[in-house]
Amino acid sequence: MALIKLGKDPESPSGGSPTIYLDDEKDTYLVQGWKVEDGERLGQMDIPGHETVVEIPRRMVQFFQEVKGDEDPDV
Going from N- to C-terminal start, the domains of the chain cover 3-68
pLDDT given for residue 70 in this prediction? 62
CA 57/CA 54 separation, integer angstroms: 10
pLDDT given for residue 65 in this prediction? 73
Q: Which of 9, 25, 40 is nearest to 73 (CA)?
A: 25
Query: pLDDT digits over 9-19, tens only?
Result: 988 887 778 99
**Mean pLDDT for each consecutive 10-residue tract of the chain (75 residues)?**
89 84 93 95 96 94 75 51
DSSP letter assigned to residue 66: H
CA 29/CA 11 separation, integer angstroms: 21
Its sign, for the CA torsion 64, 68, 70, 75, is: negative
Task: State the CB neighbour count (10 A cutoff) for residue 60.
Answer: 21
pTM: 0.76
pLDDT given for residue 75 in this prediction? 41
pLDDT given for residue 66 in this prediction? 67
